[in-house]
Amino acid sequence: MIRKLLLIIVILCAASCSHKLKDFYCGCAFEYALSESGGRKAVVDISTCGFVSKTGEVPSIQWEHIVPVSYFGRGRPCWEYPLCRDGSGRAYRGRRCCLKIDGDFKRIYRDKNNLKPVIGELNRARRDYPFGSAPEGDSYGSCYIKIDKASKTVEASAKIRGEIGRIYDYMTETYGLRFESLP
């Protein structure tokens, strides 16, 4: 549901905005095109940003929660305990359960101020690591983002650090989230 809403927003913006759509971390231009299945998919132009894949996959766009979902899911009963059941009666917990039964979680999860279009490979590599200074880490061509798996830290480009900070401030003020005890 949230992906469809974001796709509609992006498509409307693409039709009416004079600027190109760009991913948050690298500034890669992208646009939506029809896929073979009749849906829409993002086509990323890596020549606009210097992104180099570590996996060799074709870049795709995913919507990244800048404040990771686990940060506002952790500690909720639906995240910690198997309170939900699927059609077969199997119990489950986590994101799927919280989206089903926790209205506050669902509102935070869907807040567009915390969602940014990013290259899918970077979204998966970041996991739920916090932003900070990464002593080592994988780099992705001339796209400045460093992901240090050893220290579990992500160092973003100086160009977007202020926006990241404002997103964390917004999430703190709007939802009362606290980040001091996170990894």
pLDDT in tens, 98-131: 999 999 999 999 999 999 999 999 999 999 999 9
Spans of the chain below 50 pLDDT: 14, 16, 18
pLDDT for 28: 97
d(CA 153, CA 90): 35
pLDDT for 41: 87
Q: 């970077």: which residue's tokens? A: 122
**Own/partner pairs for 6-9, CB < 8 Å, 24+ apart?**
6/63, 6/112, 6/115, 7/32, 7/40, 9/112
pLDDT for 174: 98
d(CA 163, CA 165): 5
pLDDT for 71: 95
pLDDT for 181: 55
What pTM, to 2 d.p., does this model score? Answer: 0.85
Give the residue among 28, 62, 67, 68 at the shortest CA–CA distance from 44.
28
